[in-house]
Structure 1
Amino acid sequence: MPKLLDLCMAAIADELLQGEGNDDFLSVIYELPQELFDGLLPQLPPLALHKLQEKLPTNFMESREHAYDDTSDSLKRRRCDILDTAWRALYKARWPSLDQQNKTVAWFDRNKEKCEIINDWQQKYWETHLQDCVDAIAETALLPSYDGSIGEIQIPDCIMEQIGCKDYLIKLPLDSLKFSCHCQQFGVYVRRLRLPNALCSAETCELFQNSKLGSLELQWIKSNDHVEGLCKLLSQSTETLKSIEFIHCKLSPDFVNAISDSLHMTGLQVHGVEHFSIKRSSFLQADSSPIPAGLASFLTSGRSLQSLTLCDGHLGRNFARGIFNSLLDASSSLSKLDLSENSVSGPSLISGFLSQFRWRPSSCTFNKSLQSIRVLNLRSCNLEQDDAESLRHALNCMPNLDSLDLSDNPIEDGVGSLATYFTEISSRDVPFTNLKLENCEASCKQMVELLGVLSTLNEPLHVLSIKGNMLGSKIGAPLGKFLCTGVLSLDAEDIGLGSSGFLQAAKEISVELKIAYINISNNQGALGAAKFIASLVKHANEIVAIDARYNSMPMDSLSVISSGLKDSKGKLKHLDLAGNTFCHQIADADSVSAELQIHGQSALNVLLSVAPHIPYDNDP
């Protein structure tokens, strides 16, 4: 049977949800003993907790400071912590997957943005709630047949139930179900917003006029009406807006110019945007057309601009040249430049710009924007072998660069130019941490040279990915030596190591390694792969995850791996052995997994799933 206290708590929640702001009732709640008040908070649904906190007296913390053996500051901090804990629990219960995303840190990709630190869970809760509302009403607003007001669209019952209105939907006033009501109540909490084109309107500006928007994601902008509404929203938010992202948009020069004009602060020819991104979008102009004047102005006037992303945008040659030239003229301290996925047929649109660096004197003064770049992403830009030398000269104009992604570019022996670049910077004070050369058609000879040079850096590389390059077994020994330099994360998937390559790599491991993650999948390693894993876990005290899928490891590999785990320090959390030959032969996968877990001496997650019946493709 429910306890009397629980029934009282439920009655309070009901009154908060249904009551019309009864101040006398709230004052009684605020006078509850601390233990009862603190115990009430976790029992309240979101809307009830919001109403309780909304009218919390400003002197609520101080009014009790003499009743407890505590200082005023620590008491206030404790009260805030209790409220914040209640909101955090509500957030986790409603959006468990989003909460998990906030915690996840990729083992391999250490160049990811740092996971979000949330200091105000009430703000985060209602911001995410309102985004759910936006996504829901957009389904109606996008219908060609709908020509009504956005604010009049009703919030679905399933969302109303999430905030505590499940048993009161019939009793609620009609206005409280409207999108406009939720914007009025919770718009003040919104800092980030994702809007489809149908919601880029003057009405949306009014609905979010109390929001201090710091980040906007705009989708499917493609008409004058969309741009007109968007520009009003941008103008309204110029003082607070720091991040803008366009996805799946079609932008004409006039659109770009209008958007740029709306971002400038009142009376000033500068803007405060720090992160600007255009992804999977197209510019409605001929390939030979120059960069729109508005975009050039935006780039050159962006003193606060820190990151620029123009990804998968079908950029024309003159457009790309205009982007680079604008950056050369800019006064910003750009730290991240992403021009990935701009591959087109014929010569690379970026190579033309890079070529001019060949003729720049080595003593040239670094442009501020280039000098500050730390992260450069040129993945899949159709860069070829001849472009690598030009790229080397360009990289020398970026003395603070610490992360470079050249994956999916057929640079082949151009890797040698990169080796020269790393030789030139090997003694610099700024460490280079992240290099990706996936699917670059690199030769074993050039990769061996590069690994040798990387081993001489003042500080060891943190992350290296060379997956998808058919290097062969001869890369084994150099790779083993490189592991001993202190690299933290290595992706060597599908590089043709074979059993002999793994054995050669294992022979080179004789010191304590710092590696935390390694991917050696799809290398047909057989028993050699198992022996490499055994050697790895013995010498890598910090190893957290190993991906060794699809290596054709036979049944006796399990005993080899198990023996290695016995000698390990037990920090390994994830061992993926899926798709290996022994997976077909194991009678009881659970017992084998349990045995490996015991030998791992920790909460080791072992994957032993059977490979699909697809023949291995050994053709690079």
Structure 2
Amino acid sequence: MSQTQKKNSSNGETKPRTSFLNRFLRSSKFMSSKPESRTESNDLETTDFQPGNEAQKTATLDTAQPLTSEMECGPSMEEKEQFLQKLGRTAVDKCLDLNNCRLTAADLREAVALLPLLPDLEKLDISWNDSVGGNLHSVTQHLHLLSKLKILRLGSCRLTTDDVQALGEALGGITDLQELNLSWNSEVGGNLPLTLQNFQEGSKIQTLELVDCDLTSEDGAFVGQLLPMMQNLEVLDLSLNRNIGASLNSIAQGLRSTSNLKVLKLHSCGLSQEGVKLLDAAFRYLGGLRKLDLSCNRDLGGGFEDSSALLATLEHLEVLDLHQCSLTANDVVSLTQVIPLLSSLQELDLSANKKMGSSSENLLSRLRFLPALKSLLISSCALESETFTALAEASAYLPALEIFDLSWNKCIGGNLKLLLETLKFLASLRVLRLSSCGLVTEDMALLASVIHTGHLAKLQELDLSYNDGICDAGWAIFCQNVWFVKELTELDISLRPSISQDCGQWFGHLLNAITKLSEITEIGMRRWILLPSQKEELEHFYQDHRHNIHFDLGEVQQADFPRLN
């Protein structure tokens, strides 16, 4: 993952730096008695940091003196105990979460000084702190004191080869470790055996995450050899390691020994047709698998021919992600046979497989046999009239559907009426995306009618962007009725990047509707040009109503794009 330079807010400061412990005391994040959920922790992928100048200078100055020797100058035992008492949370003794705190080397020393006082610590998270890189030995030399440690997260810490080796030596002494996250540390690649060499047979590891670690094919082969030692493994994420596809034979063999595996993520791992078949042979040993992500493997197309029937053994599968996999017509035929057998499926993503457009009629019609389906993503699949008709008919039998993404399928324009029964009976629908679907005024009138009758009352996100064929009358009738969607939080009606257009009189109807939508916070209107009178209306709106609503009008000037008349 590319890293972006973060701002250094301390440049030019002359006053003494606030103690990390004092800042830590004021942090409401650390005061929480509950560790964050797995979903929240995985959101790290969206935030990138590099060390600021201050952190770099501090690390440079500290190289002349080991971190461990300076720990003696830290707070006294009594002061540390008082610090822990002031936190007022007993759970702190079990969870030290310094994720994304922009720690400097000095901060890290103070944090390390706490470790001997936390013998019951079960979770240590110092992810997304650049200063950890090159200084991890100060942490690893104390890990033997944390005999109850179960969760160790070191994602995006700029670990060096020396760090990786020090960690490998320390991990051998943490017998109860259940979760290890080393994601977004490129030096792990080529050095994975150094890190995991002390894992013993019968390891208690349940979660192993190595996302975007620049793993080599040799690392992949090592993972395959390691898997039989991890009988308790439930989550394995090797995503964004594009070179391990060459060692998939070893990984697939190892997976046969992980019968407790529930989550397998191989997003963008360079999988080929042959690789899919190797995995497919391993699936019969993974009857408890709940989530399978093979997305963004563009050479995978054709791999499901003659082999996907084995997916039927995954009877407990809840999430299947095959977006951007270059699925062929024959792949679709094979999937048509197995999809109806996955009765526990809750999320299905087939997006960005353009060859589905003319060959998926039977597959989409059989979606009606997935009553538990909550999320259906079929954007940019080049659907044709017949395939869209089959999808529309089947979707009416999906009562649990909450997320429905049909974006970038032009055949929907003028045919939204085919979804009428679906839109009427999907009482749980929260997200509807119809971006760049070629919608016309007739479609907007139909949507407005459905909204007016209260059939989309639970909708929270509605994306109608990049539909430039709708006239002012269509936008007006929609804006007059959108206020019936009481739980709406996000609405996007932006124009495509190549076009700008004057707002019609419907803008006033939109402002009036927003005053009745208590939950809405985001209105996407990029490339719509407000007339002077409409800008004045918007200013009055902000003066008279809530200020937590963001109108995203973009920064593009009127002259930058051709205007529609």
Q: TM (normalized to structure 1)?
A: 0.64
Change over 3 Å in CA distance of 1:235–1:605 after alignment to 2: same
Matches of residues 20-39 of structure 1 in structure 2 within 5 Å?
A: 21=76, 26=78
Q: Would you say the 8 A contact 1:131–1:193 is kept in 2?
A: yes
2:217 equivalent to 1:272: no
> Helix, strand or coil for the counterpart of 1:438?
coil
Deviates more, 1:506-515 or 1:402-411: 506-515
- Alignment RMSD: 4.2
Distance in 2 between the 1:341 and 1:561 partners? 38
Change over 3 Å in CA distance of 1:282–1:538 after alignment to 2: closer
Change over 3 Å in CA distance of 1:594–1:337 after alignment to 2: farther
Partner of 2:401: 461
Partner of 1:573: 521
Question: Cα distance, 1:213 vs. partner?
Answer: 5.4
Partner of 1:34: none
Deviates more, 1:309-318 or 1:506-515: 506-515
Partner of 1:353: 304
Matched residue type, 2:317? I
2:427 equivalent to 1:471: no
Partner of 2:31: none
Q: 2:124 aligns with which of 124, 127, 130?
A: 127
Question: Cα distance, 1:386 vs. partner?
Answer: 4.3
Partner of 2:186: 220
Q: Would you say the 8 A contact 2:465–2:494 is kept in 1?
A: yes
Matched residue type, 2:302? S
Deviates more, 1:182-191 or 1:513-522: 182-191
Q: 1:554 aligns with which of 487, 497, 503?
A: 503
Partner of 1:531: 476
Change over 3 Å in CA distance of 1:86–1:93 after alignment to 2: farther
Q: Would you say the 8 A contact 1:412–1:441 is kept in 2?
A: yes
Q: Would you say the 8 A contact 1:477–1:507 is kept in 2?
A: no
Question: Cα distance, 1:339 vs. partner?
Answer: 0.6
Q: Deviations over 1:528-559 (max 9, x none)?
A: 45335424423212212111222746241211
Change over 3 Å in CA distance of 1:127–1:365 after alignment to 2: closer
Q: 1:136 aligns with which of 131, 137, 141?
A: 131
Question: Cα distance, 1:248 vs. partner?
Answer: 4.5
> Helix, strand or coil for the counterpart of 2:513?
helix
> Helix, strand or coil for the counterpart of 1:372?
coil
Distance in 2 between the 1:365 and 1:315 partners? 17
Q: Would you say the 8 A contact 2:164–2:188 is kept in 1?
A: no
2:499 equivalent to 1:545: no
Distance in 1 between the 2:311 and 2:295 partners? 27
Distance in 1 between the 2:132 and 2:338 partners? 48
Partner of 1:193: 154
Task: List gaps (5 residues or longer) in structure 1.
Answer: 1-8, 27-47, 57-78, 97-119, 142-149, 152-177
> Helix, strand or coil for the counterpart of 1:471?
helix
Distance in 1 between the 2:343 and 2:99 partners? 43
Question: Cα distance, 1:382 vs. partner?
Answer: 0.6
Aligned length: 465
2:406 equivalent to 1:406: no
Distance in 1 between the 2:396 and 2:280 partners? 32
Partner of 1:164: none
Q: Would you say the 8 A contact 1:278–1:311 is kept in 2?
A: yes
Q: Would you say the 8 A contact 2:208–2:235 is kept in 1?
A: yes
Deviates more, 1:498-507 or 1:379-388: 498-507
Q: Would you say the 8 A contact 2:431–2:461 is kept in 1?
A: yes
Change over 3 Å in CA distance of 1:17–1:400 after alignment to 2: same
Q: Percent identity?
A: 14
Partner of 1:259: 223
Change over 3 Å in CA distance of 1:473–1:228 after alignment to 2: closer
Partner of 1:52: 82
Question: Cα distance, 1:592 vs. partner?
Answer: 0.4
2:333 equivalent to 1:389: yes
Matches of residues 161-180 of structure 1 in structure 2 within 5 Å?
A: none
2:426 equivalent to 1:431: no
Q: 1:491 aligns with which of 433, 439, 460?
A: 433
Change over 3 Å in CA distance of 1:87–1:554 after alignment to 2: farther
Distance in 2 between the 1:387 and 1:242 partners? 31
Partner of 2:553: 608
Q: Deviations over 1:344-374 (max 9, x none)?
A: 3xxxx353434445xx6xxx9952xx11111
Question: Cα distance, 1:299 vs. partner?
Answer: 1.4
Partner of 1:317: 273
Q: Would you say the 8 A contact 2:172–2:199 is kept in 1?
A: no
Change over 3 Å in CA distance of 1:465–1:19 after alignment to 2: closer
Partner of 1:564: 513
Change over 3 Å in CA distance of 1:199–1:435 after alignment to 2: farther
Distance in 2 between the 1:281 and 1:92 partners? 23
Partner of 2:167: 204
Q: Would you say the 8 A contact 1:454–1:460 is kept in 2?
A: no
Question: Cα distance, 1:380 vs. partner?
Answer: 0.6
Rg larger for: 1
Deviates more, 1:371-380 or 1:518-527: 518-527
Partner of 1:146: none
Q: Would you say the 8 A contact 2:234–2:262 is kept in 1?
A: yes
2:553 equivalent to 1:595: no
Change over 3 Å in CA distance of 1:285–1:193 after alignment to 2: closer
> Helix, strand or coil for the counterpart of 2:459?
coil
Partner of 2:321: 377
Q: Deviations over 1:470-499 (max 9, x none)?
A: 225313333565433222211111111133
Change over 3 Å in CA distance of 1:483–1:556 after alignment to 2: same
Question: Cα distance, 1:245 vs. partner?
Answer: 2.3
Change over 3 Å in CA distance of 1:222–1:186 after alignment to 2: closer
> Helix, strand or coil for the counterpart of 1:376?
strand
Q: TM (normalized to structure 2)?
A: 0.70
Distance in 2 between the 1:20 and 1:572 partners? 48
> Helix, strand or coil for the counterpart of 1:446?
helix
Q: Would you say the 8 A contact 2:323–2:353 is kept in 1?
A: yes
Question: Cα distance, 1:594 vs. partner?
Answer: 4.8
Distance in 1 between the 2:245 and 2:491 partners? 47
Matches of residues 238-253 of structure 1 in structure 2 within 5 Å?
A: 238-252=203-217
Change over 3 Å in CA distance of 1:85–1:179 after alignment to 2: closer
Q: Deviations over 1:398-449 (max 9, x none)?
A: 22112111111011133422332124x1xx6x42111111111112443244
Q: Would you say the 8 A contact 1:571–1:602 is kept in 2?
A: no
Distance in 1 between the 2:214 and 2:423 partners? 44
Q: Deviations over 1:563-598 (max 9, x none)?
A: 4345x353323222232132xx34684750551785
Distance in 2 between the 1:19 and 1:216 partners? 29
Task: List gaps (5 residues or longer) in structure 2.
Answer: 1-20, 26-70, 104-117
More helix by share: 1
Change over 3 Å in CA distance of 1:528–1:495 after alignment to 2: farther
Matched residue type, 2:443? G
Distance in 2 between the 1:470 and 1:179 partners? 55
> Helix, strand or coil for the counterpart of 1:351?
coil
Change over 3 Å in CA distance of 1:233–1:596 after alignment to 2: farther
Distance in 2 between the 1:365 and 1:319 partners? 15
Change over 3 Å in CA distance of 1:440–1:597 after alignment to 2: farther
Distance in 2 between the 1:546 and 1:504 partners? 17
Matched residue type, 1:220? S
Q: Would you say the 8 A contact 1:200–1:227 is kept in 2?
A: no
> Helix, strand or coil for the counterpart of 2:238?
strand
Q: Would you say the 8 A contact 2:189–2:214 is kept in 1?
A: no
Q: Would you say the 8 A contact 1:519–1:548 is kept in 2?
A: yes
